[in-house]
Every structure is written in C-alpha cells, then in structure tokens.
Chain A
C-alpha cells in the first residue's frame, strides 16, 4: 500500500490538504500531515515521525510532498539519515495539485510510480 506524507511549514496547511485529499479520493488512501505548530517551520524529525506513522498503518511505499524548498530538504534528510522500512520517494511536484493528482491516482488503483508521475505531471497542467 502506498501512503502520502504532506510536509508543510504549517501543520494546519498540511491538515487542510489532508482533508481535501480524503474528500476527493476517499478515506482509503493513507495520508499523514506534519508541520510546524505555533512557530512555523519544518525539520527532519517531524518528517521521520510522519513516515513512521504511515509505515505503522501498513504503507510499504511513501510519497512525500513538501510546500517550500526546506520541506523538501528536510524530507530528503529524513529519507537518507533516518531510515524506515518503507520505500520513500520525495516528489518534485506542486504541493496541492501534486498531492491531489497522486491521491486520485492511488484511489483508482494506481501504484506508487504511477501516482508519482501524475504528481510531477501536475506542473504542466495550467489553470487558465
């Protein structure tokens, strides 16, 4: 099972996106959100906690989405320096659109690779 980890400088922002993903693609997709509470920001430890929650739920692959550059740096650090049992992919995609594309792909039977491709593709889809 593939899980989605949302990493934001603001936990509220990540949680809001988590709700959106569940409303668009159903409750079956594993989504976790981590981020700053009170003081905004993100670090590798937060990411690691999110990864652990998803592996505990049974995720064997995890797609990680970040809001700004340092969320991605923290995710890469967690991936390299704090290993978990799942395969972790740090995805280069827009935070909202990418995560939505991945969740919809997963909820319709897509695997991790397919969901990741859908997320990266989201950069190309213009809004107007």
Chain B
C-alpha cells in the first residue's frame, strides 16, 4: 500500500458514507440515536479537507494513519469516533514513515486497527457491532488462503455487506443498542454497515 492508495481509500470511504448518509442514519434510528451517518460523514469530510490543503503531498503512511485518527477523534463523536479514531492512531505505529508498506505490514496494521477497537469497545464477533464485519474480514486476510492478497481482499469486499446483513438476527451485546436486548433483533447494526463500505473502498483503492 502506498500513500496515494491510502488517501484514495479514505476519500472513497467518505464518499460512500455520504452517499449512504440516510441509510446509515435510518439504521441507527432503529437501535441508536440516529446520527451514525451524519457523524461519520462529518469526520470523513474533515479528513478529506486535511489532504486538500495546499501543502506538500503526504507520503508518510504512519502520519496519514495517525492524523486520520486524530481528526476522527475530534470530529465524529460518539462510540464510532472514539473507536475509529483511537484505532487509527494506535495502529499507525505499525506503518513505515517512508515509502510504501508490504502486504504483510498492511495486514498487521489492519489487524492492529481491529484489535484496538476490540480492546477499547470490549466487543467480540456476534455482539452485533462493527467487529462482526471487521474481525471476520481481517481474519480472512491473515489466513492467507487463497495465497493472492488481492483475491482475499476481493472476497472480503464482496462478502462484507452480507456480514453486515447477518447482524440483523443478532441481539446487541455492546453499545447503546444493548439496552434494547431482544428488541435489537431484526435491525442491522449501522456500524457494521459503514465497516462494510470501508472494506469495499479498500478493495477499490488497492485495485487502481
């Protein structure tokens, strides 16, 4: 992964969240406070602004991950801002300050992002959260089957929405939806849907 792919990925993520703003808010209205789309959209548009300023192009992957995280921390708010923000800051240490990173490093970094979210949010697979899409995806990338990274990433990107859809039948164990208990069943977790968009954009950015 190089800096340009990183930025293309996050710009795509911001655009996709913006395009699904109403869907994400709608999902969140059912089992949360109805602002997941608005919050993520606000933060991701700040991330885009950061890179459009007239200054030397950012080529430092570590710095890109870190500043993306710090921006999300101070602009998204709520659990998503806290989880995405701290994960991007903490995992940034895995990335090089110069040049591109190898596929192995990229996978280790993606794993660190998800591990940070798991630690901070104390969520596991099956809790009806973003982890249901993120952990399953990272584990496929880690396992190395099929051997081609781009094939694995393709699988992850094309399955991500199904994994998000599968949160519908789950009972929320973490986050505000957990207060609803069994009444959270029948609704897709909004964080899992935005996480699916994130995988799709990574696949797109890496393919270009």
Contacts and interface: CB of A to CB of B under 8 A. Distances in A.
Nearest to B174: A69
A44 interface: yes
Interface in A6-43: 36, 40-43
Interface size range on B against A: 20 to 34
Contact of B120 (A36, A68, A73): A73
B79 A73 contact: yes
A23 B154 CA distance: 60
Interface stretch (B7-15, B82-90, B145-153, B192-200): B82-90
B186 interface: no
Interface residues of B, dominant DSSP: helix
Interface in B58-85: 70, 73-79, 81-83, 85
A57 to B, nearest CB: 23
A40 B33 CA distance: 10
B77 A43 contact: yes
Contacts of B76: 43
Nearest to A75: B82
B29 interface: no
Q: Which of A44, A68, A76 has the most CB of B within 10 A?
A: A44
A43 B86 contact: no
A77 B175 contact: no
Contacts of A44: 73-74, 81-82, 85-86
Interface of A: 36, 40-45, 68-70, 73-74, 76-77, 80-81
Given A42-B77, A44-B73, A44-B85, 19 more contacts: A41-B39, A43-B73, A43-B74, A43-B75, A43-B78, A43-B81, A43-B82, A44-B74, A45-B74, A68-B176, A70-B78, A70-B79, A73-B79, A73-B86, A76-B86, A77-B86, A77-B120, A80-B90, A81-B73
